[in-house]
Structure 1
Amino acid sequence: MKREQLGQLILASEDSMYHVAKSLLYNDADCQDAIQEAIAKAFDKIGTLKQDTYAKTWLLRILINECYGIMRKEKKIISLKTCEQEEPWMERQDYSDLYEALMGLTEEARLAVTLYYMEGYNIREIARMTKVTESAVKSRLARARTKLKEELSKED
């Protein structure tokens, strides 16, 4: 793949990249940082892409790794006072009930739901991206659907 093609792919994948980053990170600034780092790494490591058909999957995998890196850094920085306070994403009231229910899921489940329902990836592709088995992806999706159904029915 050429650099120009990668640039076009990135432009076409803006929404997908944001959805994936937002499913793992709460803060929009962190999402932007993860996306920028992923783009820079993608251009730097373009030679490691073996098949052009998997370019978007490859790009999203880089983004997922960047999100996990930011999460690891934030874990080291969080103070005890922050832990005792309410979660930052709960303070916002402008998000829909579905978004708040999604944020109540585990990171793995949130990522699986985002990739499957919002981005349209199949179970095999999600398993490859997240480096787990297909049955693990199916289980995560099933548990997420059950929990979302419970949470959303509580609010009615």
Structure 2
Amino acid sequence: MEPKDQLMQWVQQYYARLTYIAFNYVRDQSRAEDLVQESFVNAFLSTHQLKDPTRPFPWLVRIVINQCLNATRKNRREQPTEFLPELRSKSTEDIYMQRSRDREVYAAIMSLPEKFRVPVILYYFEELSIREIADALKLSEGAIKTRLRRGRDQLRIKLGGGFDTDELGDAYTSG
């Protein structure tokens, strides 16, 4: 496949997920979209560095993370934006209670130190495997498991004893 065609496929397949990851770094939707677009340009120019063409997502995540870190270094201002995951509940009371809990969980996740927040987001929301996260963050699988455990532990403390990792999404598997 031609690099240009490959890039178009990646944009269609991964744009939304990569934008979500970027947003969790820069906390500004417009800036996140810009950084992802810049990341795709970098990916296009660096396609020869992709080690496993069958698994481009962890490589693209690494490029996006690097773009975000560079942007954050240049501009230390953060502007939090509200995000609520899709709700499946139907009654008004259920929706209100779920939104309240979603806000609480979201705030707790966003308050985690970056080294715990990023693996939690990649694992529970982006459904990356431990290995894929380790590849993307250039850490060992053991380090990722430790960061996930410590991130979950901090979430339990922040959210109280009633917190269950199932609240992080359907992607939860014991880890």
Q: Same fold (TM over 0.5)?
A: yes
Aligned to 1:99: 106
> Higher helix fraction: Structure 1 or Structure 2?
1
Opposite residue 128 of structure 1, the aligned amino acid is D
Deviation of 1:93 (Å)? 6.3
**Structure 2 residues without counterparts, runs of 5 or longer:** 85-102, 164-175
TM-score normalised over the length of structure 1: 0.81
**Kindly tell me: are residues 88 and 42 of structure 1, through their superposed partners in 2, closer, same or farther at Cα, counting changes over 3 Å?**
closer
Q: Identify the residue that residue 90 of structure 2 maps to in structure 1.
A: none
CA positional deviation for 1:13: 0.9
**Structure 2 residue aligned with 1:137:** 144
Q: How has the CA–CA distance of structure 1 residues 113 and 56 changed in structure 2, closer, same or farther, with 3 Å as cutoff?
A: same
Question: Which has the bigger relative contact order, CA under 8 A and spacing at least 6?
Answer: 1
Which residue in 1 is equivalent to 2:55?
54
Alpha-carbon separation, structure 1, partners of 2:54 and 2:154: 34
Report the CA distance between 1:32 and its aligned residue: 1.6
Give the aligned partner of residue 160 of structure 2.
Answer: 153
Matches within 5 A, 1:1-156: 2=2, 3-75=4-76, 88-89=79-80, 96-153=103-160
3-state secondary structure, aligned to 1:47: helix
CA contact (8 A) 2:50 2:56 kept: yes
Q: 1:94 to 1:131 in 2, by over 3 A?
A: closer
For 1:93 and 1:52, how far apart are their aligned partners in 2? Answer: 35
CA RMSD in angstroms comes to: 2.3
Contact 2:50 2:59 in 1 (8 A): yes
1:7: how far off? 1.0
Structure 1 position 108, deviation (Å): 1.6
Contact 2:109/2:155 (8 A) holds in 1: yes
Q: Distance in 1 between matches of 2:11 and 2:82?
A: 31
- Alpha-carbon distance change, 36 to 141 in structure 1, aligned in 2, over 3 angstroms: same
- 8 Å CA contact 2:7–2:40 kept in 1: the answer is no
Deviation at 1:97, TM superposition (A): 1.5
List runs of 5+ in structure 1 lacking aligned partners.
79-86
How many corresponding residue pairs?
Answer: 144
Judge which range, 46-55 or 34-43, deviates more: 46-55
After TM superposition, the score normalised by the length of structure 2 is: 0.73
Q: Percent identical across equivalent pairs?
A: 34
**What is the CA-CA distance between 1:126 and the residue it aligns to?**
0.8
Q: 1:94 to 1:15 in 2, by over 3 A?
A: closer
Q: Secondary structure at the match of 2:55?
A: helix
